Structure 1
Amino acid sequence: MPSQQKPEIDIECDVAVIGAGTAGLAAERSARRAGARTLLIDDRFAGTTCASIGCMPSKLLIAAAKTAHSMGVSSQFGIHAGNVTIDGKAVMERVRTLRDAFVASALESIEDLPDSAKLKGLAKFISADRLAVDGRIIHARCVVIATGSRPSIPKMFDGMKNILTNETVFEIDKLPFSLAVVGAGPLGLELAQAFSRLGVDVTVFDEGDTVSALKDHDVAKSLHTLLEREFTIHLGVKINASQSDETTDISWSGASEGKKRFTHVLLAAGRPPNFGGLDLANTGLELDEHGTPVFDSQTMQCGKSSIFIAGDCDAALPVLHEASAEGAIAGNNAACFPDVRPSKRSTPLAITFTDPPSASIGVPAGKNANVGVSEFSDQGRAKVEGHNAGLIRIYADNEGRLTGATIAAPEGEHFAHMIAWAIEDRQTAMQLLDKPFYHPTYEEGLRSALKHICDQTRLSFGQDRDAGSSPGV
């Protein structure tokens, strides 16, 4: 039989990047800077996940909620704000207006690309080095997959009304009356607290036994307790849902049992990789049990192939700075293929913007780790601000060198950066205690944890360092 003729090639490039989100944009820039002819492919060119449906709109909602909450608790300072009126329509309009400005800014880098370097359409693999995009055939020496992720929608919610995800929640015209949040991870908790502070009756459900994906039981328990002061959280439960007119009935069982009716449901139980329509089977790549290509996290190369992966679609570290870093690594290695080189990855850092913020830094505490604890109920500056609650646990090796931490404490996002930088610089608890701590600041709250580590590693420190360093100060 005669061999099957390959389809005619419409476009040739060195590196084709599928997906114009944070990782894809970083990959295209990195490959172009390395001298490659690039082609950026996306079905919408709608802006990055962060700008359009992730980081920025959620923080805009959180900012409105924080303002409402601060007015509601102002009486503790002797300031009586009276009845606080929340205009839900105006809140959501501001979220969308500023969100759209962030999206426009993100799109500027795409608009700067020449038309020959971008192609709108759905891409699918014909082979490892050939793509079909709406009938056009692209031959690429290397391909970077940066297709992002998509909402996980359980089948029980198919066809139901008023079901929201992070891709639709910011489009509602007014605030819900009541909201069931399915998922107690970072996204679910951020939005749950924000809507609760804006006057929505919120209940969170999760099959797991922790909040905000925290692996430190003590910190997770502390955060759980603090958040439940504002809204209800049911952990360790399975749910069932049924539609009733314009509302949804949620029943749950497991660690607790009950039934409640909600006007809206927010699905926040994860975002699996978005490989729909890619035809990965045509690449010859090895896939894991979830259908994700097996890749090297230091090179972003899939096996030994000419295909690379970056961003949320690799299901490794779904945060913006990691997506950007992965994109840069993937793009550079794709441009230089087959000269693929490993890159040093930064200290793992994940932050959830609840109040108090939570964070996971570095590696979890192992059995032999030294653990230092700072409890914020009696911390001086925290008491001044009326935020005196929370917990920090810092981990170190036997030499006192910091290896990780878990945080649920006021100003936690800033503590998280300080600790991550210290881990990057391989600093010990003693070295950090040698740094200046201004009084009165939240940063002083770290000293108790650092001293605990020093005590455990039998490191001594001078008497002058003890002055004025009680937990309440």
Structure 2
Amino acid sequence: MGKILNPDICVIGGGAAGLSIAAGAAAFGVPVVLVEQGRMGGDCLNYGCVPSKALIAAARQAQAMRQAGAFGLVAAEPFIDGERLQSRIRSVIEGIAPHDSVERFSSLGVEVIQETARFLDDRTVAAGDHLIRARRFVIATGSSPAIPPIAGLAEVPYLTNESLFEFTPLPRHLVVVGAGPFGLEMAQAHCRLGARVTVVERADALSNEDRELKAIVLDAVRTEGTALHERTTIRSIERDGDGVRLHCEGKNGGFDIEGSDLLLATGRTANHAALDLGAAGIRHDAERIHVGADLRTSNRRVYAIGDAAGGLQFTHAANYHARLVLQQILFRLPGHETRRIVPRVIFTDPEIAQVGATEEEARASFGTVEVVRSDLSGSDRARTDGLDRGMVKIVVGRGGRILGAGIAGAAAGEMINLWAFAIANRLTLKNFRDYVAPYPTLSEIGKQAAISYYSPMARNRYVRAAIRILRRFG
């Protein structure tokens, strides 16, 4: 072995979570070593959030061309140039990449080692010819696509998020296995870009989402042309000429699905196989590294954050984890993950956004709750923009406390921010009722929901009696 390093913090993984830790610690002048074996920026920049949203943006423009007639314009079927589309996706990634680059982090004072890391013991990591003995380690190695155990799958070509965005030409008939957020986002996007799309899901589509909200989205996806088979088991997969054939079993018996290309969207599994966690006394299983609410592992020197810890697998959750760990390491302040304050968004059209408890979760936890609903059709801006498909749904506890908020509709991911702030700060619907919302905006619909919660007061006989008395004074 060569150089021995003794930083305060060793970060393993240069994705969203690891970069947040490294940049935050370096900003305070703390010695940091970052070990990354692959591309800086991790899954989000290279294979996940960024390229998928670039693809979705292109699909949205294609759909807008088809729907132009609704606005008094001449509709047209778009011509999809697969090579130019891929070039645009690459240019978006390249525009963001310098922010996550080795050069930038080196300029911040972070020592970046581009090697594979593995634990030698409970306080030492080897990376190439370096030995790293840090005061604290943070594992932020992200996750990889989970590959389901389906007979014949190993003998057929398939796509995952790690290969989909470099695939040219676009699929003729894309078969998506998995109807979770990523699966449905990609299904709708490819359908809008001219592909025939079939989705197969062994359980219910978007199974973690509110039933009312997801029904709006699933109806839209089906209406646009995606075939969705829920509660369907894939018995086996085989090659079929240049494509694939899936042998399936549904509620009405067996049937086959033929397609040109296969996309696996069946969840994620933590990247930790190369770390030799056992040498460091770190408990884990195949899917994740075990952590407590403070994100510490069974080795008190070591934290695990982001996808590596399982649970909330979002870039913004990874950044949240990084903040919690930094406040513990740098300032010795307590930091405990509070999942109810972390929003999630599914970037279909319409979108679904949720923060806090769904109605079903709230009733299970709190018993009696109230639910306030407000349709987007009640928004003047939604009507002017042709975006009146969807609703806001607020779960309310005692005293008007906001327990959860869900939105299905255009820009749901933007509108959920106010509700996430409210839940994090334990605000009530009264706070939403009293703030001034600009007109005409989609966000007004949240204020309308709050007003509707308090509107029964206008019919309260005691309130009316008080008003009658006050009217006597002129």
Category of TM-score, reference length = shorter chain: 0.7 to 0.9
Shift of 1:421: 1.8
Aligned to 2:446: 446
- Aligned pair partner of 1:267 in 249, 264, 268: 264
Q: Contact 2:352–2:408 at 8 Å: present in 1 too?
A: yes
Cα pair 1:144 1:331 within 8 Å, conserved: no
Partner of 1:376: 376
Q: CA deviation at 1:411?
A: 2.1
Q: Percent identity?
A: 28
Give, in angstroms, the shift of residue 263 of structure 1: 1.0
Task: Give the equivalent residue in structure 2 for 1:202.
Answer: 197
Q: How far apart, CA to CA, are the structure 2 residues paired with 1:39 and 1:50?
A: 21
AA aligned to 1:86 is I
Match of 1:402 in 2: 402
**CA RMSD, Structure 1 to Structure 2 (Å):** 2.7
Which residue, 106, 110, 120 being the options, matches 2:105? 110
User: Structure 1 length as normaliser, TM-score?
Assistant: 0.87
Give 2:301's match in structure 1, choosing from 281, 289, 306: 306
TM-score for both structures, normalised by structure 2:
0.87
Aligned residue runs from structure 1 range 184-195, under 5 A:
184-195=179-190
More helix by share: 2
Distance verdict in 2 for CA 1:142–1:206, change over 3 Å: same
Residue of structure 1 equivalent to 2:87: 93
Question: 1:119 is matched with which residue?
Answer: 113
Q: Is the 8 A contact 2:177 2:201 kept in 1?
A: yes
Q: Deviations over 1:97-118 (max 9, x none)?
A: 2222222332153342558x12
Which of the numbers 317, 328, 336 marks the counterpart of 1:333? 328
CA contact (8 A) 1:349 1:360 kept: yes
Q: What secondary structure is seen at the aligned counterpart in 2 of 1:174?
A: coil
Structure 1 residue runs without a partner (length 5+): 1-6, 464-473
Please tell me whether residue 24 in structure 1 is matched to residue 22 in structure 2: no
Do residues 146 (structure 1) and 146 (structure 2) align?
A: no
Q: Distance in 2 between matches of 1:138 and 1:418?
A: 43
Which residue in the other structure is 2:427 paired with?
427
Q: CA deviation at 1:394?
A: 0.7
Q: Secondary structure at the match of 1:277?
A: helix
Structure 1 match to 2:159: 164
2:280–2:299 contact (8 Å) kept in structure 1: no
Find out whether 1:224 has 2:222 as its counterpart. no
Does the residue aligned with 1:13 lie in a helix, a strand or coil?
A: coil
Structure 2 CA distance for partners of 1:452 and 1:123, relative to 1, 3 Å: same
Q: In structure 1, what is the Cα distance between the partners aligned to 2:406 and 2:351?
A: 11
Q: Which moved more, 1:273-282 or 1:448-457?
A: 448-457
Distance 1:267 1:59 in 2: 18
- The CA distance in 1 between the partners of 2:287 and 2:49, in whole Å, is 26
1:134 aligns with 2:128: yes
Contact 2:356 / 2:405 at 8 angstroms: preserved in 1? yes
Opposite residue 386 of structure 2, the aligned amino acid is G
**1:258 corresponds to 2:251:** no
The answer to whether structure 1 residue 388 and structure 2 residue 388 are counterparts is: yes
Which of 285, 288, 292 is the matching residue for 1:292? 288
CA distance in 2, matches of 1:308, 1:55: 24
Residues 1:458 and 1:430: Cα distance change in structure 2 (over 3 Å): farther
Q: Is the 8 A contact 2:281 2:298 kept in 1?
A: no
Q: Which residue of 2 aligns with 1:247?
A: 243
Q: Larger deviation: 442-451 or 10-19?
A: 442-451
Aligned residue number for residue 177 of structure 1 = 172
Aligned residues: 451
Aligned partners of 1:82 and 1:163: how far apart in 2?
Answer: 33
Q: Is the 8 A contact 1:370 1:453 kept in 2?
A: no
Q: Name the CA distance, whole Å, in 1 between partners of 2:190 and 2:251.
A: 25
Letter in 1 for 2:229: H
* Contact 1:165–1:266 (CA under 8 A) maintained in structure 2: yes
Report the 3-state secondary structure (helix = DSSP H, G, I; strand = E; otherwise coil) of the residue aligned with 1:251: strand
Query: Does residue 1:350 correspond to 2:344, yes or no?
Result: yes
* Partner in structure 1 of residue 46 of structure 2: 52
**What secondary structure, in the 3-state scheme, does the structure 2 residue paired with 1:442 have?**
coil
CA deviations 1:266-319 (Å, max 9, x no partner) are: 1111111111211111122333x556333233x322246111111111112111
Look up the equivalent residue of 2:335 and give its one-letter code.
P
Identify the residue that residue 280 of structure 2 maps to in structure 1: 283
Between 1:163-172 and 1:440-449, the stretch displaced more is 440-449
Residue segments in structure 2 that go unaligned for 5+ positions in a row: 465-474
**Alignment deviations for residues 161-218 of structure 1 (CA, whole Å, 9 cap, x no partner):** 541111111111221111011111111111111111010111112122132x543112
Contact 1:362–1:423, Cα closer than 8 Å, also in 2: yes
Q: Distance in 1 between matches of 2:171 and 2:426?
A: 47
Report the CA distance between 1:329 and its aligned residue. 2.7
Q: Deviations over 1:214-235 (max 9, x none)?
A: 4311212222112211112222
Which residue number in structure 2 is paired with residue 3 of structure 1?
none
